[in-house]
Amino acid sequence: MISPLFVALAAFGCIFGGTFLGALLRRKLPEHHLSGDTKDIVRLGSGLIGTIAALVLGLLIASANGTFESQRTQIKQLTANIILLDRILTRYGPEADSARSQLRHGVAAMADRIWRENGADSSQAEAFEGSSEAQSFYDEILNLSPQNEVQRSLKARALDTSTDVARTRLILFAKAGGALPMPFLVVLILWLTIIFASFSLFADTNATAVASLCVFAFSASAAIFLILELSQPFSGVLMISDQGLRNALAPLGS
């Protein structure tokens, strides 16, 4: 998967390049092509494209932020369920120490897989396969032999909570690889390039105008960078931290 920073820089080059394209066309076109009526048509057309691009950018930012917050919430839920599961096994008694040990090994392996599967270089070509650590932990719970009603209740709660953990884990896997489609991004950059070309088509490109258009192009490409970063919550600058999940459980016996 292409780096969001690379895409944003390429977008900046294309968008800001539209400014020079417009200035070049202004010098090449015959004078009667730059009449008042032509200016009105170009301004109306660029206004229409600008409105569409603004709406699309706003919707994409909202959608990407929703994806980011949703997956961050799921990681928090996963962490909370793991802590709850460990507390349940602690109350069960020393017989569950082996399961608690398996849980600690499984959490590290789970974190590695989640951040690898959802990272920038991941793909969704492979089917999901349960880890040996998860299966071993579940077997440890199943093999518990309750001696009283309290332990039977705790075992049932442990099985239910481990099922919730597995369900959240599968949801995270199902959402992996949901990046913004490249054709969509190309069309958006094309729209912005056309808009910036129209800015300089009928205006003098003095230093102030060029500097202003450079800032505007940077702002538009920064919005694209933000969208791509939020769409990849498990990699990049805005990556969801894995430390909360990895450090959820204290070492056994501490």
Largest CA distance in the chain: 95
End-to-end CA distance of the chain: 42
Residue 100 in tokens: 């608690």
| Residues counted in the chain | 254
Give the pLDDT of residue 128. Answer: 67
DSSP type of residue 129: -
Strand ranges inside the chain, DSSP E: none
What does the DSSP assignment read for 141-184?
HHT----SHHHHHHHHHHHHHHHHHHHHHHHHHHTTT-PPPHHH
The tens digit of pLDDT for each residue in 108-154 reads: 888 888 888 776 555 555 666 667 778 888 888 988 889 999 999 99
pLDDT exceeds 80 at position 222: yes
pLDDT exceeds 80 at position 230: yes
| Closest alpha carbon to 91 in 143, 157, 160 | 157
For residues 187-192, give the mean pLDDT.
93
pLDDT exceeds 80 at position 71: yes
Percent share of the chain, pLDDT over 70: 93
Global pTM reads 0.81
Answer yes or no: are the C-beta atoms of 57 and 188 closer than 8 Å. Answer: yes
